[in-house]
Amino acid sequence: MHSYKNIPQNKMARKNIAAGNWKMNTSIEEGVALAQVVANAQRDKETVTILAVPFTHIYPLQKKIKSSSKVFLAAQNCHHKNSGAYTGEISPSMLATMKVPYVVLGHSERREYNHEDNALLALKLRAALDAGLKVIFCCGEALEIRKANSHISHVKTQLSESLFQISAQEMKNIIVAYEPIWAIGTGETASPAQAQEMHAAIRAMLQKQYGKRVADNTSILYGGSVKGSNAKEIFSQPDVDGGLVGGASLNATEFVEIINAF
C-alpha cells in the first residue's frame, strides 16, 4: 500500500503520474519491447503510468500490454474535427473508438513545428473532451521569455486562451504538464525551486478560474530533461505531481526508476 507519510495534505487529493512521451521514436518492435518491460516492472501501483506513443504503435501495444498492468496509452496529438478532408490527420473520435484514454495537446514541439496556437488548442481541447478523451495539456516558455522574467504571464496566457475555455466539471479529465522549452532535450532541467514556483503559480491560476477543489485535484506534471537521477528531487516539490518524460522514457530501466521516484 502506498504510504502517504511525508506527503503534504493537499497532495493527497491528486494522482502521482509518470508519463513517457516517446515522440517520433522506436520501431513497433522496439516500442512493444519497451512497453512490456515497463508494464512488467515492479512498480508502485498507486502511480499512474502513461505512455504517449506514435499513432502506429497504439494497436500493437494494446494487443501486448495487459490492462491489469495499469499502463495507459496516450496519443501525442489529434485533430480538432472528428472527420473530413484533412489528409494525414487523426481525429479524437478515432482515438476514442480505439479506446485510447489520453491525448497530449499543446506540446511545444507541435506549437513550434506545426504552428499550433492557443486558439487552435482550445478547439482541440473541446473536440478531445467531447470525444471522451482525457487530455495532457502542455504549457511552457522559451528561454528568452524566462530571461525577460515573463514566464508566469506567458503560461497564464497559454492557459487562459486554451484550457480555461472548458468547464470546472471537465477539469477532472485534464492533466497539466509544465514543460519549459529550454529544458526539453537539453539535459538542463529547471531547478526544483523553478519548477515549484511555476507549478504553484499554475495551481493558483486554476484556483482563481475554477476554485480550490479543482486546483487541489488537478495533477501538474513537470517535463524537461527528467531522468532517473533527478526525478526524486523534482517530484518531491509540493506542487509537482509527476513528470512528462521524453528521452529518458525510451530507456526502460531509467523510466521505471522515474516511475518509482515518488
For the annotated catalytic residues, the residue numbers are 107, 179
Binding status of residue 245 toward ligand 13P by CB under 6 A:
yes
In angstroms, give the least distance from the CB of 168 to ligand 13P. Answer: 26
Among 17, 225, 252, 255, the residue binding ligand 13P under the rule CB under 6 A is 225
Strand partners, 174: 135
In angstroms, give the least distance from the CB of 222 to ligand 13P. Answer: 9
Binding status of residue 140 toward ligand 13P by CB under 6 A:
no
Among 116, 141, 179, 254, the residue binding ligand 13P under the rule CB under 6 A is 179
Among 103, 171, 244, 252, the residue binding ligand 13P under the rule CB under 6 A is 244
Binding status of residue 211 toward ligand 13P by CB under 6 A:
no
# residues near ligand 13P by CB under 6 A: 14
Q: Which stretch binds ligand 13P (CB under 6 A): 41-49, 77-85, 141-149, 220-228?
A: 220-228
Binding status of residue 21 toward ligand 13P by CB under 6 A:
yes
In angstroms, give the least distance from the CB of 186 to ligand 13P. Answer: 7
Strand partners, 131: none
Among 58, 65, 184, 240, the residue binding ligand 13P under the rule CB under 6 A is 184
What one-character-per-residue DSSP string does 107-145 give?
-HHHHHHS---HHHHHHHHHHHHHTT-EEEEEE---HHH
Binding status of residue 224 toward ligand 13P by CB under 6 A:
yes
Write out the three cell numbers for 126. Answer: 473541446
Which residue has the CB atom at the shortest distance from ligand 13P? Answer: 246
Q: Closer to ligand 13P by CB, 64 or 232: give it.
A: 232
Binding status of residue 114 toward ligand 13P by CB under 6 A:
no
In angstroms, give the least distance from the CB of 33 to ligand 13P. Answer: 20
Residue keyed to cell 478523451 = 133
What is the binding site for ligand 13P (CB under 6 A)?
Answer: 21, 107, 179, 184-185, 223-226, 244-248
